[in-house]
Structure 1
Amino acid sequence: MALPNEHASLAEQIERLLSAGGPLPVVAAGDPVLRRPAAPYEGQLGPALLARFVEALRLTMHAAPGVGLAAPQVGVGLRIAVIEDPAPVPDEVRVTRGRVPQPFRVLVNPSYEATGPARAAFYEGCLSVPGYQAVVARHAEVRLRGEDEHGQAFDEEFTGWPARIVQHETDHLDGVLYLDRAETRSLASNQAMAELWAEPAPLQAARALGFDLPD
């Protein structure tokens, strides 16, 4: 549990971040905050400051744009993340990737576990690793536990692309970047993705670049 002066220091850090207004600066890979496990949220910010911080995370996620953002990505080492995915994709992509709309949600102290053996591999990107994407094999189904911003506990199962999103964001809170789990031979610039590997599943990329996909 954090000491009172640590609470004050953290609150002051967030007040400074919020004072500029608008989207928050997103921290890029190489910053140590992305590699440290985030501290559990235990009321360090108080309800009003937490609500302002959550709204700033939401604004920053929308502006990026992205479908998720974790507090360490804006330099704050707390186990808080937000997700939201309107899923504006063609039907073929929606079906292949299991990408369905997700409403805005706040994840406080989340943790996940696989609920089945299946894994799915798709290209994935990250706001903290701008300009690149890589194929990551993740659990196709997970059970996510945690709380919302009001302290209400949740225990839910996610499948398809929503399962990928919650794994990606929860990993951030453990100091893990998607590159740690990626097929390194699949790494591609956004330009290469647009020109070569825009298919719903990375089958052609696997053959051309020489990496394996899960069965």
Structure 2
Amino acid sequence: MKPNGADRGLRAAVEELLRRYPNGIFPIVGAGDPVLRNPVQPYAGQLGDLLDATLDAMRRTMLDAPGVGLAANQIGLPLALAVMWDPGTDTSDPRERSPFACRAVINPTYQVVPSPDTGLVESRTFYEGCLSVPGYQAEVTRHRAVRFRGTDQDGTEFDEVLVGWPARIAQHETDHLAATLYVDKADLRTLATNQWLAAARSLPS
């Protein structure tokens, strides 16, 4: 994406992160930090030639955590950038975790659409977590299918329909950019620690 105007403050913030964390694994901002509660700026070239380094570091940070998505405000940058992925190796998983290649997205948006296989607007409820709210998960009802639009890292526009877990990841990360955390949409009566959920899931059904 060609820059329309670099932002010295944001560039300086990225340069400092890269200096302090040369391995490209940045600290993740936790819930309570105001940067997560203010809508981000649309990306319009503010980082200039630091965009690729920023997105690469976001990928490294996400994978190291590990997680399946990370928005720029989760590393303290109020810009409409995100990275996401999911190996999705279990085709029998009721969450529909189909493989979702690691990618960066710029200025992403989503729109609810009917599921391609049923023609119906559907929702699904599953446990969900967040790298900015570590240690916990809760049930969140989200749309099963969304039309996902934005720009790839190389500046190519995309417009595609996502279904199942990829659609959930896209909604979660795009919500971050609109200052919404998953706990805002969760049924907090289902809030549980990761340890408790792991133990519960290991019990025979």
Same fold? TM cut 0.5? yes
| 2:51 equivalent in structure 1 | 50
Aligned residues: percent identity?
Answer: 50
Q: Calculate the aligned-residue CA RMSD, in Å.
A: 1.7
Superposed CA deviations along residues 51-93 of structure 1, whole A, max 9, x for unmatched, are 000110010011000111100000100000001111244x542
Structure 1 gap segments, 5+ residues each: 205-215
Give the structure-2-normalised TM-score: 0.89
CA–CA separation in structure 1 for the residues paired with 2:104 and 2:72:
11
Within 5 Å, which residues of 2 pair with 1:87-98?
A: 87-89=88-90, 91-93=91-93, 96-98=94-96
Deviation at 1:197, TM superposition (A): 4.6
Give the structure-1-normalised TM-score: 0.85
Q: State whether structure 2 residue 170 is matched by structure 1 residue 172.
A: no
Structure 2 gap segments, 5+ residues each: 115-120
| 1:146 equivalent in structure 2 | 150
Give 1 or 2: higher helix fraction. Answer: 1
Within 5 Å, which residues of 2 pair with 1:1-215?
A: 7-20=7-20, 21-22=22-23, 23-46=25-48, 48-89=49-90, 91-93=91-93, 96-116=94-114, 117-197=121-201
Letter in 1 for 2:30: A
Give 1 or 2: higher strand fraction. Answer: 2
SS at match of 1:172: helix
CA–CA separation in structure 2 for the residues paired with 1:99 and 1:80:
23
- Contact 2:11/2:46 (CA < 8 Å) preserved in 1? yes
| 2:117 equivalent in structure 1 | none
How many residue pairs get matched? 193
Deviation at 1:195, TM superposition (A): 1.5
SS at match of 2:105: strand
Letter in 1 for 2:64: A
CA–CA separation in structure 2 for the residues paired with 1:102 and 1:34:
25
CA–CA separation in structure 1 for the residues paired with 2:12 and 2:181:
27
